[in-house]
């Protein structure tokens, strides 16, 4: 309750629980992390990419789409873990039970979000590694792209947790994917430059919470940054911390009676 300071050990304990689970089910996890993104990457880069000429300033379509795909996948992984995973564990009472340990609610939430970010990083290394082999991402870009993916993971982990805590049922929970994630995936500049959208839609696309991540990751991939990237970095920083207190509040309302 009035215990504000976050204890690192508790957050790592929560994080560790998820790591243990992942290792227990590594075969299933492998499809998540490798096979699915590989298919999507090949479909977009080698399939759709064949039909599209080079994009000015971006090289091939595959090179254009790769950082967007990586960031989009990072978002999905963090959301899936923190929305779907946490919702299930709230329903099963295991989250509430974790609070009977010397762990505060904020630490529990932070552990969940850190795990969301971890999954985003693992996904990025998997897809990124694949893209490296195909020559669609320069190796120098990988650390920067992974950093962005980690921050996207924190941001969407917190957003996912908000949905998990606020959803009364599974059907409302799926809104996070149908209403939020899918549109963001397609309209945040991952698959085409925002400049090709209608004039009136462009400001909205720039404000979409996935856009700064995609924009920055592409900046790292191309190896060129300008003022727009500075603004994106600022926006991303706000987004990455802004949802966490809301998630804690909602989780408190859900778990503490």
CB of 174 to another protein, least distance (A): 21
Token reading at 44: 């977009």
Q: Give, in order, the Cα–Cα distances in Å from 167 to each of 53, 87, 146, 252.
A: 44, 8, 30, 13
134 binds another protein (CB under 8 A): no
148 binds another protein (CB under 8 A): no
CB of 44 or CB of 251, closer to another protein: 251
92 binds another protein (CB under 8 A): yes
CB of 210 or CB of 250, closer to another protein: 250
> Which x/- pattern over 8-37 shows residues binding another protein (rule: CB under 8 A)?
-xx-xxx-xx--xx--xx------------
The dihedral region occupied by 92, where left means phi > 0, alpha psi between -120 and 50, and beta the remainder, is: alpha
Phi, psi of 102 (to 5 degrees): -70, 60
| 160 contacts 69 by C-beta, under 8 angstroms | no
Beta-bridged to residue 102, according to DSSP, are none
CB of 111 to another protein, least distance (A): 9
Among 6, 99, 125, 222, binds another protein (CB under 8 A): 99
CB of 99 or CB of 225, closer to another protein: 99
CB of 16 or CB of 50, closer to another protein: 16
Size of the site for another protein (CB under 8 A): 30
CB of 42 or CB of 99, closer to another protein: 99
Alpha helices in the chain (DSSP H): 8-24, 26-30, 36-42, 61-79, 86-91, 94-98, 105-134, 142-166, 170-173, 175, 182-187, 202-207, 211-222, 227-255
Cα dihedral value 73, 83, 247, 102, nearest 10: -110
6 binds another protein (CB under 8 A): no
96 binds another protein (CB under 8 A): yes
Q: Give, in order, the Cα–Cα distances in Å from 40 to each of 66, 177, 202.
A: 10, 18, 26
253 binds another protein (CB under 8 A): no
CB of 126 to another protein, least distance (A): 22
Report d(CA 51, CA 231) in Å as an integer.
33
Q: Which among 46-54, 100-108, 196-204, 237-245 is the span making contact with another protein, rule CB under 8 A? A: 100-108
Considering only residues 191-230, where is the footprint of another protein by CB under 8 A?
none
SS3 state of residue 59: strand
Largest CA-CA distance found in the chain, in angstroms, rounded: 59
Among 101, 201, 230, 238, binds another protein (CB under 8 A): 101
CB of 89 or CB of 249, closer to another protein: 89
Residues that bind another protein (CB under 8 A): 1-3, 7, 9-10, 12-14, 16-17, 20-21, 24-25, 89, 92-94, 96-104, 256-257
């Amino acid at each position: 309750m009035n215990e504000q300071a976050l204890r690192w050990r508790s957050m790592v304990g929560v994080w560790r629980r998820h790591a243990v689970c992942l290792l227990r089910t590594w075969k299933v996890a492998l499809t998540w992390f490798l096979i699915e993104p590989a298919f999507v990457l090949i479909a977009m880069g080698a399939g759709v990419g064949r039909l599209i000429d080079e994009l000015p300033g971006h090289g091939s379509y595959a090179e254009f789409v790769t950082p967007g795909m990586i960031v989009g996948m990072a978002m999905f992984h963090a959301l899936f873990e923190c929305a779907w995973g946490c919702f299930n564990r709230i329903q099963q009472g295991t989250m509430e039970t974790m609070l009977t340990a010397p762990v505060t609610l904020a630490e529990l939430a932070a552990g969940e979000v850190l795990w969301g970010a971890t999954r985003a990083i693992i996904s990025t290394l998997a897809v990124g590694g694949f893209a490296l082999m195909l020559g669609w991402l320069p190796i120098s870009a990988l650390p920067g792209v992974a950093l962005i993916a980690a921050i996207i993971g924190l941001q969407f982990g917190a957003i996912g947790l908000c949905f998990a805590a606020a959803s009364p049922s599974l059907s409302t929970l799926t809104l996070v994917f149908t209403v939020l994630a899918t549109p963001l995936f397609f309209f945040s500049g991952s698959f085409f430059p925002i400049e090709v959208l209608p004039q009136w839609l462009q400001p909205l696309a720039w404000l979409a919470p996935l856009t700064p991540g995609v924009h920055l990751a592409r900046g790292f991939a191309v190896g060129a940054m300008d003022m727009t990237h500075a603004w994106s970095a600022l926006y991303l920083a706000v987004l990455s911390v802004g949802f966490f207190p809301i998630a804690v509040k909602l989780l408190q309302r859900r778990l503490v009676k």
